[in-house]
Amino acid sequence: MSQYDTIAIMGPTASGKTSKAVALARHLHGEIISGDSRQVYRGMDLGTGKDLEEYGEVSYHLIDIVPAGSKYDLYQYVRDFNKCYDDIRSRGVMPVICGGTGLYVETVISGVRLPEVPENPQLRNTLKGKTLEELTEILSAIKTLHNTTDVDTCQRAIRAIEIQSYYREHPEVAKVADRTSAKPLNALIVALDIPRDDRRQRITSRLQARLDSGMVEEVRGLIDSGIAPEDLIYYGLEYKFVTQYVLGIISFEEMKCKLEIAIHQFAKRQMTWLRGMERRGFHINWLPYDLSDNDFAGAVSDLM
């Protein structure tokens, strides 16, 4: 029996997390819990890299659980993760967290429980129309920004301000969300170590493969199904730039160029997050990204 409660497989985009996590889950007879903030949306497949065909008989959770166009946040993720985690553990099975959203994975590993924060229409109205820079400044005044996830878009920034304002008015709620009172999971954290040049090359080739597989058609289909373009743009990266192309705002070449740059920047932020986790006291075991899936599963088993 392992000394660990769970295993988290992390790493930057295009490093091969899915196939490695699936191989490990298969090896351990475990189940996957996605740690990706966008794979929760149904119909958003190519742009989020779900690669569902890789799972085979391995059970997975927190993928395709809400409709595209809806807003799914950290609070909902923590709530849904804990339900899945408790269920998997109750059956004596090892949960394998697979994800590239550092904030989500770190939060659940930390054992933080997030209380529900209601919308504040009055506050939202006063923030409406402000630039992302202005919103970031407001948020910085009431919260130390450890990452840029809260300020990716105006909508996210407004929600972050709403949450922090609620915590200030309800200190008893803030206490529940305080990391110092959390009970961390005993997690084995493994990250895929990929050289920068290899990462860039894989991002470029994967983007082309997704475009060839119909990523533009996927976005066009989502819009045709009634999802507002601004809701797709909210999700960022692939959905932001492909939507702009579908709407005729930018050309295909401009879309591809801007998207590739944005994904490279995103991967860099993911690596920065992982290094930050190490500084925050998390022990991360780095394994080469180019290990075969079976060798990777064996190496992680040795760490257990």
142: which residues sit within 8 A by CB, 6+ positions away? 161, 164, 165, 168
For the stretch 169-194, pLDDT in tens is: 888 777 766 666 678 999 999 999 99
Which pLDDT band, with edges at 50, 70 and 90, does 74 fall under?
A: confident
pLDDT at 116 over 90: no
Q: To which residue do tokens 């860039």 refer?
A: 200
Q: Which CATH superfamily is domain 6-114+180-303 in?
A: P-loop containing nucleotide triphosphate hydrolases (3.40.50.300)
Which pLDDT band, with edges at 50, 70 and 90, does 148 fall under?
A: low
pLDDT value, residue 96: 98
Q: Where are the domains of the chain?
A: 6-114+180-303, 121-176
Taking residues 91-118, what's their average pLDDT?
90
pLDDT value, residue 1: 54
For the stretch 245-304, pLDDT in tens is: 999 999 999 999 999 999 999 999 999 999 999 999 999 999 999 999 999 999 999 999
Task: Give the closest residue to 61 by CA, choosing from 77, 44, 43, 45.
Answer: 77
274 vs 143 pLDDT, higher one:
274
pLDDT value, residue 105: 95
CA distances from 61 to 78, 96, 255 (A): 13, 10, 32
Q: Are 186 and 8 in contact (CB under 8 A)?
A: no
pLDDT value, residue 294: 94
